[in-house]
């Protein structure tokens, strides 16, 4: 009996270590959890902004090339808070619940790419032709973000997204209100059930050879 009592804690420890990682961030959210997330988003105050801090990484400006300025990872709960914070006028807790059910349990990755003086709306400049034609400017297309590569990695495993899309970002170029392309937001959607709560690397590989990477500890997120 004495030997077994000393052996039991070791057996329990071995059993726990053999278990797959537990999912710390919430899936299959209850009505109560959705409602609380909805009201946190509706507040749209310092408490709401503080909630998003662990889900956000701000990156330094590179010496040259495109600027991957922000990377966000949003759990199912965080997505409810975000949608609620952006649709405060006439948005209800019932609609928040319906939207969550429509999305399903997804993990959303958001990447913000900004132009810089060395990587901007001008994609190329055509040289003068032998016929004497003048140089021409080739503007960068709205889907320039597709020339980047994006990856999520846990330990040695890369995880494929269910979908990916991008939205071009425009800014005012002069006092007359004309606009120009200044960057893009890229959204990658993952099945939350395929991503355990573990240290998770997010990589963005730029066309000029940068590997911009950040790490999120999903175990600490809700």
Domain segments of the chain as ranges: 24-220
Does this model's pTM top 0.85? My answer is: no
pLDDT for res 172: 79
Q: Is 63 helix (H, G, I), strand (E, B) or coil?
A: coil
For residue range 171-193, list pLDDT tens digits in order.
Answer: 977 656 678 999 999 999 999 98
For residue range 53-65, list pLDDT tens digits in order.
Answer: 999 999 999 999 9
């Amino acid at each position: 009996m004495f030997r077994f009592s000393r052996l039991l804690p070791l057996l329990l420890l071995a059993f726990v270590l053999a278990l797959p990682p537990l999912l710390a961030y919430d899936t299959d959210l209850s009505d109560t959890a959705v409602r609380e997330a909805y009201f946190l988003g509706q507040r749209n105050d310092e408490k709401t902004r503080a909630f998003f801090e662990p889900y956000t990484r701000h990156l330094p400006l590179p010496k040259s090339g495109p600027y991957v300025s922000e990377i966000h990872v949003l759990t199912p709960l965080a997505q409810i808070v975000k949608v609620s914070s952006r649709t405060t006028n006439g948005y209800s807790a019932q609609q928040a619940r319906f939207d969550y059910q429509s999305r399903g349990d997804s993990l959303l990755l958001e990447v913000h790419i900004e132009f810089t003086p060395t990587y901007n709306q001008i994609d190329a400049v055509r040289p003068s032709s032998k016929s004497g034609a003048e140089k021409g400017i080739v503007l960068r297309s709205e889907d320039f973000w597709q020339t980047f590569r994006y990856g999520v990695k846990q330990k040695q495993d890369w995880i494929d997204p269910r979908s990916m899309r991008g939205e071009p970002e425009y800014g005012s170029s002069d006092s007359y209100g004309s606009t120009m392309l200044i960057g893009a937001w890229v959204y990658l959607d993952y099945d939350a059930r395929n991503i355990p709560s573990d240290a998770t690397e997010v990589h963005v590989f730029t066309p000029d050879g940068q590997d911009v990477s950040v790490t999120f500890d999903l175990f600490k997120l809700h």
